Structure 1
């Protein structure tokens, strides 16, 4: 029996990672101690917490834990540390390009307003990229539980930094509390600035949520999107237009979208021709980063090495990485797949 190829040496892109949720658990504990923040047991002894957000109470608990975690980021050096450590973790897992999603309004009061917050994040991302060789870009995300006017403000802000580290505009939080169509003007602003449209959809709401992201927001990618598997017609649309779904299996189980990992329709979407970028979503709350998602593809969904390589290719193609870097990484994926297993070494760092 052939030895499986090491997944940590497979070049890949990580396109679904939230800013606070990327924090190491050890860093959360340390910063909470430094800043005198009391953490509930769910973030300490009982970590990772047991979550199920398919009802309002469950989502409230998830959001409460997320807000507590966010509260430990109080100084600029905390932001620099978070992004440096996130980049180091990406590099260790073979991730060569990261698009990290942040809502600046969640930190604006702490760091001098929306613009100053975004500039801080972008500077921290640039330094982390230089230190680790992992390319890092930023997605500015609006909160669908807030007024659409807030989203338009963030879209204009994101547009000001298009080409300067910001590559996309997203829409996150509980999709049951804000229809995609309510945010269409914000996404038009972002599109005019040349940003990718990357809203969440098809997670806690059904396939219609994904369809609205496509039809009303002009989605280039859909965060999660797994509920699209409930509609053959919708999967065909995604495949025909090559709209990528950022599938996060561990998160889907953690939030109750699927009862077990085996129930996440990764194989169904892949076989239907829907491009997929595996993501970790919020490792701080779900306890698993990017590499375990690829391990699940092999161990649970039965993906062979050639199919795993194609998953990695799809993540690269669906990213906003420079074309030259995409070509280089695609060649390295081919080498990972064709070289003898013993010759597949850890990839060399690539600087942006």
Structure 2
């Protein structure tokens, strides 16, 4: 596992959003190990992955541990509490109910369990003095879910305003045809949901343009390869398209050589809105706060620049006005040392 800077208490106290975190790769490791023990099944988190396919093989072992709705709910609650402890004020995990639906009675039933667990844990966290709002980025995989796309798009639209805050499209191989997913994206947008699409990680700037033009994406998961074409970064900056980047994940999966050469600072320099995220902290061993430690220690960002990154997260359309107002107050206090 590559060495990366780790967050101190000040960075954990920084109010943050976490907008690019895959639910099934973000559960706290202790909660997953406890579930594996109850099930009498093995769980192993490798120190390193030989390649991305080894990562995907490992990734699938966690959904396989879930046998009941309570198993899933417990993992979801543990995630919310862990993120609240990291200073996250708005969490929007990518939720793929299709990973559990065969065992748990269908995509809608799974989604209802996840949303109920999010709401319960958020209420408990608020009562404990760690307020966190949670929305669900209902996500389909453009590598695998063409036959499910319309169902998931309709499901996202039906739960818009009732816990679902975005429709996501995920993939690692970005060369696939986006046409099967246009209907789902259209249904989500008609319901007032943003489309949040993976692009610009393994694919180049042309794939960023594709999700913008074909799917109507208004936020990009990753997006860092947009730096290879100034026309694309100019467009992202002009249209205010946020790129939710994940530095440690990109290095662990071998799509960026090292943290020092990550393109995120170039995106920021070119005026592209950027947020920092952990992607799959269960597997990569780095929290969202640790990504801010990278920005400070490796990229040389000062407190104001870190706060600017954090504030970019408030552009997430699912965030309520109350959370946004509290976020702004807390961020000002963080910058001034409590002197509003």
TM-score, length of structure 1 as denominator length: 0.89
Moved more, 246-255 or 75-84: 75-84
**Alignment partners' CA distance in 2, 1:178 and 1:147:** 12
Residues 253-280 of structure 1: per-residue CA shift (max 9 Å, x gap)? 0111101111211110111111111111
Q: Aligned with 2:61: secondary structure?
A: helix
1:181 to partner: Cα distance:
4.3
1:323 to partner: Cα distance:
2.0
State the superposition RMSD in angstroms: 1.8
CA contact (8 A) 1:239 1:273 kept: yes
- Unaligned residue ranges in structure 2 (runs of 5+): 1-7, 126-130
1:1-352 to 2 correspondences below 5 Å: 6-39=10-43, 43-44=44-45, 47-48=46-47, 50-51=48-49, 58-132=51-125, 133-176=131-174, 178-339=176-337
**Alignment partners' CA distance in 2, 1:246 and 1:267:** 13
Q: Aligned with 2:111: secondary structure?
A: helix
Q: Aligned with 1:170: secondary structure?
A: strand
1:152 to partner: Cα distance:
1.4
CA contact (8 A) 2:182 2:215 kept: yes
**Alignment partners' CA distance in 1, 2:301 and 2:317:** 22
Q: Aligned with 1:175: secondary structure?
A: coil
> How many residue pairs were aligned?
328
CA contact (8 A) 2:138 2:156 kept: yes
**Alignment partners' CA distance in 2, 1:28 and 1:177:** 33
Structure 1 runs of 4+ aligned residues shifted over 3 Å read 179-182
CA contact (8 A) 1:317 1:326 kept: no
**Alignment partners' CA distance in 1, 2:115 and 2:9:** 35
Q: Aligned with 2:237: secondary structure?
A: helix
- Unaligned residue ranges in structure 1 (runs of 5+): 53-57, 345-352
Give the direction of change, closer, same or farther, for the CA distance of 1:239–1:276 in structure 2 (3 Å limit): same
Give the direction of change, closer, same or farther, for the CA distance of 1:62–1:129 in structure 2 (3 Å limit): same
Q: Aligned with 1:124: secondary structure?
A: helix
TM-score, length of structure 2 as denominator length: 0.92
